[in-house]
Chain A
């Protein structure tokens, strides 16, 4: 059965709503419309408008209301319409969602899932293509998860909703319409991936590409192209930025001795900087070259006609691999 990422996410929401009466979906246009990306399609019809609630247009209000709902024992799943439109909710996310468990000495956890369609590559006009993962990842108390495959989008969203901690669930909108043969109905709970484990998507011996979300397909393409240059590249899909899977990442880097981090968010103070630092600290004696980064430039997200220059491409990744000090 051919399934898109949007359909898999929709199935994950549906199955979560069925499994637990405490799960509630809320956000802008999530009801009759099914969300601007149709991820909540049909949920209001099946579960009623109260469990899939069209809220007023106010992101801080949505998050704050979700906080109160979670305080009372519900499991709100909030949809932020676009990456950049989640910014009005930052105070609620940073000052309350992330801190409530800590502030109350563990007495009040907030099991909120914040779904954020993120990233570029879809020809979006200004404010529709931001990669906002570093803001969330820098905030202790949040889990930050981003699927890169159809199967993971189903499984990780189920895990996020089941988590007793708040999860920022970043959906690469560039991959929304990617389709594979996958049937959510055949996924048993045992197969649902836990939050916090990276996945080796492609084994390799020459160098290791470390990536996540929208950049995974680009990295896999680069790895395929690298074969003709004589490089056998491993590709690791982080899946979860927080908690970070040091173990899988370091094992994969030590095996090749070379690493390139790839993401489309701006490089400066980005998640890639953290990854490069962690890998260097932990794998220094296994490294034949400095850890390199291929990222978006340190610029506001470009207009659609220029975005191809900004996004990490196969060529830029291969150029970075070429700079990994092969002649010694």
Chain B
């Protein structure tokens, strides 16, 4: 007889089951295979207008990624972590949100930010380097891009929780809002990710965590990152629903994320969605991906490019033809032209602004330091002007 058998013997029952919830994990478990719609009968049921809209947005999204990468080569962006190959995730993450909802992006998610209505040049401010963030978080209901991995996840929980507290206190102004936090596969190893899931589960906060599993955290493959059956399974330990979806299938992404967001909105608790996707470009323009992954691997994923999959499907379904493709390509070129125009004038950040927003009211120390810098700049400007004059005279 094993020890385990012993404990169930009469007279050896454990303490009463008084230590909190014991829930059936079955409803929380993700399906063994990622949800797919493209290439399945479900595709026929999918709203055709929405399919065309997804295609248009994915094409524009791809062009955005290309243009931003070009801007790094021209030195007009300091760095750009492209989401090439992940456009279906980026676009649907924004599309499924309503106006009152909030998005909590990471550094990789500029495209999702643009897809929610922020001007490209403003979404790229962090990467351009003249300020840490370029859009008003309250205007767009988007938190600033978060660079410390997974730290934004608990912000989403807190905000969603606060909205529910407000709604309970003042039903008149209640906003049934959902917060959607974007995290990478590597980010799921961070303590902050786990703490956020746990808080979300305990508080029952209306949050959706979207993990874009693109296979790598810079150079480290998922196998070195986690031994979990899937990243979606991480939800179960926190009493959260886990869902697994093909992140390169735009229709599946839209339908799984919509369902997750509405699940959270209706008060049924948070959802963790793992989207299986692939980063076709390097980690950033500064990275050399050939050091850690093979061309054959990249090629295999290129064949599963979310744009290719969607275009092929739409053509087969008779929803898209050459003319449609060409028209969308022209719209994408227009977007690229507009982005370039937005970058025409190099930014001229004001050094005085360094001191303005450290506190609501600058401390006396910061006022002194601002005055010192201003005086130095005046002196420099004076010296430059004098030098110019000398040169003029010499001529």
User: Could you list which residues of chain A lie within 8 angstroms of chain B, going by C-beta atoms?
Assistant: 21, 24, 50, 55-56, 58, 60-61, 63-74, 76, 88, 91-92, 95-96, 99-109, 140-141, 143, 163-165, 196, 242-244, 246-247
Contact = CB atoms under 8 A, between A and B. Distances in A.
A185 to B, nearest CB: 26
B307 interface: no
Given A50-B168, A244-B365, A103 B154 contact: no
B262 interface: no
A109 B359 CA distance: 8
Contact of A61 (B138, B198, B359): B198
Interface in B92-142: 131-133, 136-138
A108 B137 contact: yes
B137 A107 contact: yes
Given A64-B153, A71-B159, A92-B154, A102 B358 contact: yes
Contacts, number: 145
A21 to B, nearest CB: 6
Contacts of A163: 360
Interface in B173-203: 179, 191-192, 195-196, 198-199, 202-203
B85 interface: no
B156 interface: yes
Interface of B: 131-133, 136-138, 143-144, 146, 148, 151, 153-163, 165-166, 168-169, 179, 191-192, 195-196, 198-199, 202-203, 353, 356-360, 363-365
A68 B160 contact: yes
A67 B192 CA distance: 13
Given A64-B153, A71-B143, A71-B158, A95 B359 contact: no
A106 B356 contact: yes
Q: Which 3 A-B pairs have the closest CB atoms?
A: A68-B158, A64-B154, A61-B195
Given A24-B165, A64-B195, A101 B158 contact: no
17 contacts: A64-B154, A64-B199, A65-B154, A65-B158, A65-B203, A67-B158, A68-B156, A73-B166, A76-B158, A91-B151, A95-B148, A96-B155, A107-B136, A140-B358, A163-B360, A243-B359, A244-B363
Contacts of B146: 96
A254 B356 CA distance: 31
Contacts of B136: 104, 107
A60 B161 contact: no
Contacts of A72: 158-159, 162-163, 166
A67 B155 contact: yes
A267 B153 CA distance: 37
Contacts of B364: 243, 246-247
Contacts of A55: 199, 202
The B interface, classified by DSSP as helix, strand, loop or mixed, is helix
B199 A58 contact: yes
Contacts of A66: 158
Given A56-B199, A103-B144, A91 B133 contact: no
A247 B168 CA distance: 47
A107 B138 contact: yes
Contacts of B365: 243-244, 246
A99 B138 CA distance: 17
Contacts of B158: 64-72, 76
A238 to B, nearest CB: 14
